[in-house]
Amino acid sequence: MTKYSSRYASSPEAVKKYDTQQLRKEFLIDDLMQENEIVLVYSHYDRYIAGSAVPVQDLVLESIDPLKASYFLERREIGIINVGGSGSVIVEGKTYALGFKDALYIGSGNKEVIFKSDDSKNPAKYYINSAPAHTSYPTVKVSLAEANKLELGTMETANHRTVNQMIIGSVVTTCQLQMGMTELRPGSVWNTMPAHVHDRRMEVYFYLDIPENQAVCHFMGEPQETRHIWMNNHQAVISPPWSIHSGSGTSNYTFIWGMAGENLDYGDMDVCKITDLR
């Protein structure tokens, strides 16, 4: 079964007037990881799709009405990261085994995509990102061990973290989709500080490894007009191109970042001084 919804773009001027309920309605994705369902959110920021698949029984990736396509990847590429039990994804008859925190990139033109779990009592939990694609590139699996790793931050500033670049130009060739996973060390809680914006691409954050009874406060908005959304485990948040995207947790945690847009340069960003944030 597939469920989908759409989110339209909001201007920074409009967001200034949103209350908490409206802010969460427009940007928070809080219904992911439902058993035996594919859940998709179609965003009008760069036509990006974020979603999940939890196959207690096998689930088939199907096209949804907003795509006006005969199959999901007719004009799209997709990135998948498993955040649950071990499983596999079948692409045109070829099986790709995905363990915890392994990633898979699938290029456009692939008609058959099937999500499977090795154990229905401990199903795989696939986090999905997809973006429009102009051509087809090969399907590639990237394990967490194979990711390009960056050690950033310090314990002194509470942001010591490992950035795992997984579906990114230096590892996998894509049209525009990029994905990776940032793991915060114990004792560190801040992600993406100093904050930044990149006006030529949007981003989605998906938070995981948040301990029970803990939470992450995600910051968004223009640097001079910030807002916040409190988030729980396995929830995602859409970040417009004009918005910062940063967060602080009541414990350390992990988040998956995915982005698409006009530019593939990971360092293409405008950094905001911490003391200039408002």
Which residues are paired to 86 by β-bridges? none
- Give the pLDDT confidence of 22-70 residue by residue, as tens digits: 999 999 999 999 999 999 999 999 999 999 999 999 999 999 999 999 9
- Domain assignment of residue 193, given as a range: 2-276
pLDDT at 98 over 80: yes
What confidence tier does 200 reach under pLDDT thresholds 50, 70, 90? confident
What confidence tier does 177 reach under pLDDT thresholds 50, 70, 90? very high
* Helices and strands in the chain: count of H runs, count of E runs: 2, 24
What is the C-alpha to C-alpha distance for residues 216 and 251, in angstroms, rounded to an integer?
A: 8
- The average confidence (pLDDT) of the chain is 96
Residue 215's pLDDT is 98
Closest CA to 61 of 27, 84, 94, 91: 91
> How many separate domains does the chain show?
1
- DSSP class of 211: P
What is the C-alpha to C-alpha distance for residues 63 and 41, in angstroms, rounded to an integer?
A: 13
CATH number at residue 193: 2.60.120.10
Which residues are paired to 179 by β-bridges? 167, 258
pLDDT at 71 over 90: yes
pLDDT at 188 over 80: yes
What confidence tier does 184 reach under pLDDT thresholds 50, 70, 90? very high
pTM: 0.96
Residue in this structure with the two tokens 């007037």, named with its chain if needed? 17
Give the torsion sign (CA, 71, 74, 76, 80): positive
pLDDT at 216 over 90: yes
| 93: region left, alpha or beta (phi > 0 left; psi from -120 to 50 alpha) | left
Closest CA to 254 of 236, 230, 271, 277: 236
pLDDT at 203 over 90: yes
What is the C-alpha to C-alpha distance for residues 124 and 104, in angstroms, rounded to an integer?
A: 13
Give the number of other Cβ atoms within 10 Å of residue 81's Cβ.
27
- Both tokens of residue 220? 């968004």
